[in-house]
Amino acid sequence: MATHRRRGIPLRVSLVAATLVLVLCGLLASGVAVTSILRHSLISRIDSTLLDASRTWAQSPWKHSMSNGEGPDPARPPSKFYVRGISPDGHTVTAINDRNAEPALPPSNDVGPDPTTLHSVNGSDIEWRAVSVHGTHGGLTTVAIDLSDVQHTVRSLVWLQIGIGAAVLVVVGIAGYAVVRRSLRPLAEVEQTAAAIASGQLDRRVPERDPRTEVGRLSLALNGMLSQIQQAVADSESSAEKARGSEDRMRRFITDASHELRTPLTTIRGFAELYRQGAARDVAMLLSRIESEASRMGLLVDDLLMLARLDVQRPLEHHQVDLLALASDAVHDAQAIDPERTITLEFLEGPGTPEVLGDDARLRQVLSNLVANALQHTPASADITVRVGTEGDDAVLEVADRGPGMSQEDASRVFERFYRTDSSRARASGGTGLGLSIVDSLVRAHGGAVSLATAPGEGCCFRVTLPRVSEVAAQVS
């Protein structure tokens, strides 16, 4: 229970209390030392005076008549001394001053030749400093002086120290609390920052201080830790977002692949059932449709296998490839497929030659898919232009058409697998919806990028950039 209470004490209170305890110990030590030194100094002065007086009185012969103590007597000791003598014949003679009655001191035989502090035998709180010496005329002389002045001086000093100490403790407590509170202000800022971060404000930081101080080094360390935490949280959220996106794409891919495969399979099954039942009148047409759907399904499976290989990042063949030659072949092939279409080849001016290091067959497929996409999704009257050239350290390929174009929403998803811009997902063109996805994967496998610039009514322009041979060679070297 006591431990729990101690844990609940604020740090600033504990620090101030510890400071006050240390100051109190210092005041007590200094007070005891000063009081002891002062008392010792006063006693030393009294002892010196006492010894001088005792030697003076020891040289004087004692008279028995001095013991009456009545009336002024030139033989009485001056000032505050008390003298008691024992004559050689054993008589005791006393002389007291005008300030004190005869004190109740112990017998002279109990007092030695060195100054000694004595207490009154009658219980009084008065202390005496006394010394006994043997006189030159015989006998024993005892000289004493009361210490009331010393006691009063010491008592006054003690009370003065108590008052000053109390005032010092109050001042130190107030000043210490203010200093500690100001010194701990950065910790309060750390607490506020931590609370803000806990509420979701991950960009909050502790105010920076002088790095030469402990608080400054603490703030730097905390800010570094907070930056790492923020980066870790951002990376975690990004990874989670990517994982969710990948999961969504995989789910959509599986759904679309199943849908794409189910359509030709259903068609083949239907025609096969008609043939088995003998209901088909035109067997040649039926077999032609079955063959067509099987070919379509084969193309789909081939495309899926290619995407799967690209996903696992299997190495491609790398040879020096001239993109101008590939573009020329692609234009000739397209003109052979659609002789009525205007398809042209243009060269983009730039430094060097458009030669890259890559897989010739895969790069031909990139151009083939882009040109085929333009042929399938634009009217017969829409011109198609293939451009090739260089730009900086990259080789550039462009396939542009003057078709209807597409919206920005469609353009942002055009490279997704099985994505078709028409909402009905019509398959009259015979495409699988994987052509542009294959283009994107092949280009990225070659270290390049593909983009689309389009707008409704302004056609489409697919742009492929690939590192030129000189850039790749420089990286390898």
Tokens in use for 73?
A: 């007597």
Q: Quick check: do 209-313 and 315-476 share a fold?
A: no
pLDDT at residue 56 tops 90: no
- Name the fold adopted by 209-313: Helix Hairpins (1.10.287)
pLDDT at residue 314 tops 70: no
- Yes or no: say if 85 and 140 are a contact pair by the CB < 8 Å rule: yes
Least confident of 46-50, 83-87, 411-415: 83-87
Question: Which tens digits make up the pLDDT trace of 269-280?
Answer: 777 777 777 665
Q: What is the C-alpha to C-alpha distance for residues 239 and 244, in angstroms, rounded to an integer?
A: 8
- Range 385-398 average pLDDT: 90
Question: Which tens digits make up the pLDDT trace of 419-455?
Answer: 766 543 444 455 566 778 888 888 888 889 999 888 8
User: Between residues 241 and 465, which one has the greater pLDDT?
Assistant: 465
Single-letter code of the amino acid located at 325 = A
- Range 50-54 average pLDDT: 81
pLDDT confidence tier of residue 69, bands split at 50, 70 and 90: very low
Percent of the chain exceeding pLDDT 70 equals 74
pLDDT confidence tier of residue 386, bands split at 50, 70 and 90: very high
Q: Where are the domains of the chain?
A: 2-170, 209-313, 315-476
| pLDDT at residue 68 in the model | 42
pLDDT confidence tier of residue 104, bands split at 50, 70 and 90: low
Q: What is the C-alpha to C-alpha distance for residues 401 and 387, in angstroms, rounded to an integer?
A: 11
Least confident of 39-48, 77-86, 332-341: 77-86
| pLDDT at residue 475 in the model | 47
User: Between residues 368 and 5, which one has the greater pLDDT?
Assistant: 368
| pLDDT at residue 470 in the model | 66
| pLDDT at residue 462 in the model | 93
| pLDDT at residue 411 in the model | 83
| pLDDT at residue 464 in the model | 93
Long-range contacts of 106-113 (CB under 8 A, 24+ apart): 108/84, 108/132, 108/140, 108/142, 109/140, 111/142
Percent of the chain exceeding pLDDT 90 equals 12
Nearest-Å Rg of the Cα atoms of the chain is 57
Tokens in use for 253?
A: 């891919």
| pLDDT at residue 461 in the model | 92
| pLDDT at residue 168 in the model | 92
| pLDDT at residue 1 in the model | 47
Tokens in use for 100?
A: 């004190």
pTM (2 decimals)? Answer: 0.45
CATH architecture of 315-476: 2-Layer Sandwich (3.30)
Contacts of 146 (CB under 8 A, 6+ apart): 80, 82, 100, 103, 126, 127, 128, 129
pLDDT at residue 202 tops 70: yes
| pLDDT at residue 428 in the model | 47
Nearest to 344 by CA among 332, 353, 354, 336: 332
- Range 313-319 average pLDDT: 73
- Range 310-328 average pLDDT: 79
| pLDDT at residue 190 in the model | 78
| pLDDT at residue 474 in the model | 42
Chain Cα centroid distance, residue 346: 57
Tabulate helix, strand, coil % of the chain (nearest 5): 55, 15, 30
| pLDDT at residue 94 in the model | 62
Give the CA distances from residue 380 to residues 332, 374, 403, 410, in Å, rounded to whole numbers and listed in that order.
17, 10, 9, 22
pLDDT at residue 349 tops 60: yes
- Mean pLDDT is highest, among 110-124, 290-304, 323-337, 413-427, for 323-337
pLDDT at residue 65 tops 50: no
- Range 193-197 average pLDDT: 80
pLDDT confidence tier of residue 235, bands split at 50, 70 and 90: confident
pLDDT at residue 223 tops 90: no
- Mean pLDDT is highest, among 146-150, 323-327, 470-474, for 323-327
| pLDDT at residue 423 in the model | 40
- Yes or no: say if 121 and 108 are a contact pair by the CB < 8 Å rule: no
pLDDT confidence tier of residue 365, bands split at 50, 70 and 90: confident
pLDDT at residue 260 tops 90: no
